[in-house]
């Protein structure tokens, strides 16, 4: 390692000290926040920046937030760089003037002064439970312009030399349905920034200002060096992948999301040309969220640890065409933009599956499902927002992980007991769906089910989900995952709700809403799966014995889970012959999944093939059509 200090031990000590401060900020928010979306779902992020506003540390929080800090800090520094004083604190959320992503994601940032000199910034980002607008939770898929989505905040001073901006607090109080929760969560952000202020000051004083600044500069350069070395290990060339969102409303049009990754020596170009134009709905995604997805995947495929210093981004040329769904123009709506960011991860993985296939999973559930449930309870307005995920695609060497957050974030599914204690909702079921997920030599994780019964009146749900028609893609011969479903009053008279309805879902007392997530996709030929692993799945009730025989060709001896090797070999030979003769058409695993839930039968009518510059296709995006 070379640099201004050439002292790798000190650099590592400082790096870890900064990370510890950012983690402490995250703990402060978790312990002091008021709303469940923050305290329990952990939909927030923390970080530290140097005196130039460049990121030097991330808390162990939501990955898809963290890459947004550079754009946000550039907006702040451009507006107030020479007009900051000790005790100042800033607040902003606007995607079009302040580097924001959508209005619920509110930044509160504090400049950090030591001996009167600006030495850094403490940055927090919290998904506030309600910022006003046409829908409770401020995440209406059906918004058509940002003006409908809530309270837009340009870069403003929340505190000026320690004095609160009372005008702002009064305005904010009048523009949210749950002012107590909002104020509590913002106070948690303020507390986190003040905690960082004290710890960061001690760190600067320990090394002295000049030396500390030099160490940070070295760490930026080192992060750049590491990522360039990682890129140089990859083959030169260009690879593309295209995936599709189901679309909006009752008659959805497919929405393509396309990336081309080009490696040129130590540089990488990530170009999103070919992605859909802006849409008349709120899933348009401001660019910082997509940049975050790129940063995440580059770090995930690296062989070595890349420091969380903004210098690592110097090797990445991320191109986001203006006026597209990955870089919308004002006043495009973007309240439900996160589905694009989550799907960007799958698209990037589809491209990198052609470059480093040994490191890449098949597609998972497609990102976090986000229901915002609201109404009145005991005379007061309530908003219950959830972030639900946990069905990974299979890796090349192991099954997909179940009940672990999507790689894009450390979000958690909220505890059943907390929801029932705080809201007029009863969680009737929450768990794994048997016979779900995509088969493979290594199978995708099962889908999960979350089912709510309404115990109040006048309740409505704003829903954002996906992966019903365009299933999670499999790799290396693995099967696609299973589709997602939203159901009202599941059973013989159930109503099937679009994945992204363009209006609120209204429920009365006693009504039931059920979400079934997409199941993760598989890797490798299902008929090559170890029968012992299939037996384990049946024993643990992931699959039943009939499914094991029909899908995996594994036959058990009567009354046991002992594999009948001879019968299994014969059954698998018959399934291979049927497959070779083209007698698939309607994959049996999809038929079993749909029938057990009383859902419409589907057939694969065709495939929208991914488009590649070089290399063999790692998989495809299957298209389902209702019979």
203-260 pLDDT tens trace = 999 999 999 999 999 999 999 999 999 999 999 999 999 999 999 999 999 999 999 9
pLDDT at position 1 is: 39
115 has a pLDDT exceeding 80: yes
Query: In this predicted model, which residue has the larger pLDDT, 337 or 603?
Result: 337
Whole-model pTM: value is 0.94
pLDDT at position 81 is: 87
Contact predicate 277/327, CB 8 Å: no
Q: Is 121 helix (H, G, I), strand (E, B) or coil?
A: strand
Strands 156-160 and 255-264 come out as unpaired
The mean pLDDT value of the chain amounts to 93
Each residue of 150-205: pLDDT tens digit? 999 999 999 999 999 999 999 999 999 999 999 999 999 999 999 999 999 999 99
Return the residue matching tokens 């009752």.
Answer: 250
Q: Which ranges of 233-325 does DSSP label H, i.e. alpha helix?
A: 287-301
pLDDT at position 580 is: 86
Count CB atoms within 10 A of the CB of residue 210: 8
615 has a pLDDT exceeding 80: no
Q: Token digits for 216?
A: 């940070």
Question: Would you call 536 exposed, middle or buried from its count of C-beta atoms within 10 A (0-12, 13-18, 19+)?
Answer: middle
Helix axes 179-207, 166-174, angle to 10 degrees: 140
pLDDT at position 582 is: 75
pLDDT at position 409 is: 86
Question: Would you call 250 exposed, middle or buried from its count of C-beta atoms within 10 A (0-12, 13-18, 19+)?
Answer: exposed
pLDDT at position 495 is: 96
Return the residue matching tokens 């937030």.
Answer: 65
Each residue of 402-453: pLDDT tens digit? 999 998 988 888 999 999 999 999 999 999 999 999 999 999 999 999 999 9
- Cα–Cα distance measured from residue 608 to residue 606, given in angstroms and rounded to the nearest whole number: 7
- Distance from chain centroid for Cα 603: 29
User: Between the CA of residue 7 and those of 2, 12, 227, what are the distances in Å?
Assistant: 8, 9, 20
- Supply the DSSP string of 589-601, one letter for each residue: HHHHHHHHTTPPP
3 has a pLDDT exceeding 50: no
pLDDT at position 610 is: 33
454 has a pLDDT exceeding 80: yes
5 has a pLDDT exceeding 70: no
Read off the pLDDT band of 627 (50, 70, 90): very low
pLDDT at position 600 is: 78
Read off the pLDDT band of 316 (50, 70, 90): very high
Contact predicate 523/474, CB 8 Å: yes
- Cα–Cα distance measured from residue 255 to residue 621, given in angstroms and rounded to the nearest whole number: 13
Read off the pLDDT band of 10 (50, 70, 90): very high
CB crowding 286-306: b at 16 or more within 10 Å, else e: bbbbbbbbbbbbbbbbbeeeb
149 has a pLDDT exceeding 90: yes
- Cα–Cα distance measured from residue 76 to residue 72, given in angstroms and rounded to the nearest whole number: 6
Q: Is 144 helix (H, G, I), strand (E, B) or coil?
A: coil
pLDDT at position 2 is: 42
Neighbouring residues of 570: CB distance < 8 A, sequence distance ≥ 6: none
pLDDT at position 618 is: 43
607 has a pLDDT exceeding 70: no
Percentage of residues of the chain with pLDDT beyond 90:
88
623 has a pLDDT exceeding 80: no
Residue 506, sorted as left (phi over 0), alpha (psi -120 to 50) or beta, turns out to be: beta
Each residue of 502-549: pLDDT tens digit? 999 999 999 999 999 999 999 999 999 999 999 999 999 999 999 999
């Amino acid at each position: 390692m070379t640099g201004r200090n050439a002292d790798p031990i000190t650099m590592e000590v400082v790096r870890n000290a900064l990370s510890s401060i950012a983690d402490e900020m995250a703990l402060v928010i978790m312990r002091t926040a008021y709303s469940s979306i923050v305290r329990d779902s952990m939909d927030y992020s923390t970080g530290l920046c140097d005196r130039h506003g460049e990121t030097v540390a991330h808390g162990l929080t939501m990955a898809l937030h963290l890459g947004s800090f550079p754009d946000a800090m550039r907006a702040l520094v451009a507006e107030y760089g020479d007009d900051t004083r000790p005790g100042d604190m800033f607040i902003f959320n606007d995607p079009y003037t302040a580097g924001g992503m959508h209005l619920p994601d509110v930044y509160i940032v504090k400049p950090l002064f030591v001996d009167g000199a600006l030495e850094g910034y403490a940055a927090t980002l919290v998904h506030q439970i309600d910022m006003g607008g046409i829908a409770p939770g401020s995440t209406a898929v059906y918004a058509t312009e940002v003006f409908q989505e809530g309270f837009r905040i340009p870069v403003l001073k929340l505190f000026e030399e320690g004095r609160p901006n009372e005008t702002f607090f009064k305005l904010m109080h009048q523009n949210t349905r749950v002012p107590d929760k909002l104020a509590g969560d913002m106070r948690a952000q303020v507390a986190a920034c003040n905690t960082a202020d004290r710890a960061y000051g001690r760190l600067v004083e320990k090394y002295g200002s000049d030396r500390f600044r030099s160490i940070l500069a070295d760490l930026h350069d080192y992060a750049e060096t590491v990522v360039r070395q990682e890129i140089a290990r990859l083959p030169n060339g260009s690879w593309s992948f295209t995936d599709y969102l189901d679309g909006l409303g009752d008659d959805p049009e497919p929405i393509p999301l396309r990336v081309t990754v080009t490696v040129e020596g130590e540089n990488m170009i990530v170009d999103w040309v070919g992605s859909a134009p802006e849409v008349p709905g709120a899933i348009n995604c401001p660019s910082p969220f997509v940049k975050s997805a790129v940063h995440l995947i580059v770090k995930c495929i690296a062989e070595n640890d890349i420091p969380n210093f903004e210098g690592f981004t110097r090797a990445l040329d991320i191109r986001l065409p203006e006026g597209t769904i990955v870089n919308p123009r004002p006043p495009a709506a973007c309240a439900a933009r996160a589905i694009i960011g989550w799907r960007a991860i799958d698209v990037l993985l589809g491209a990198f599956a052609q470059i480093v296939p040994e490191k890449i999973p098949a597609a998972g559930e497609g990102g976090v499902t986000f229901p915002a449930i609201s109404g009145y309870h005991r005379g007061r307005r309530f908003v219950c927002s959830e972030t639900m995920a946990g069905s990974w695609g299979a890796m090349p060497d192991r099954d997909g992980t179940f009940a672990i957050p999507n790689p894009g974030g450390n979000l958690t599914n909220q505890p059943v007991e907390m929801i029932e204690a705080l809201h007029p909702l009863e969680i009737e079921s929450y768990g794994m769906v048997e016979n779900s997920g995509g088969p493979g030599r290594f199978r995708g994780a099962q889908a999960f089910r979350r089912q709510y019964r309404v115990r109040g009146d006048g309740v409505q749900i704003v829903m954002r989900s996906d992966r019903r028609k365009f299933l999670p893609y499999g790799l290396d011969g693995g099967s696609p995952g299973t589709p997602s479903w939203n159901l009202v009053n599941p059973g013989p008279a159930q109503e099937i709700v679009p994945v992204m309805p363009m209006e609120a879902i209204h429920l009365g007392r006693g009504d039931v809403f059920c979400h079934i997530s997409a199941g993760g996709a598989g890797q490798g030929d299902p008929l090559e799966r170890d029968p012992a692993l299939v037996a384990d799945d049946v024993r643990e009730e992931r699959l039943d014995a009939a499914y094991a025989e029909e899908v995996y060709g594994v036959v058990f001896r009567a009354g046991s889970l002992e594999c009948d090797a001879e019968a299994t070999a014969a059954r698998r030979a018959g399934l291979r012959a049927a497959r070779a003769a083209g007698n698939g058409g309607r994959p049996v695993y999809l038929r079993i999944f749909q029938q057990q839930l009383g859902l419409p039968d589907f057939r694969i009518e065709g495939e929208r093939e991914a488009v590649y510059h070089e290399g063999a296709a790692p998989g495809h995006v299957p298209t389902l059509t209702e019979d």
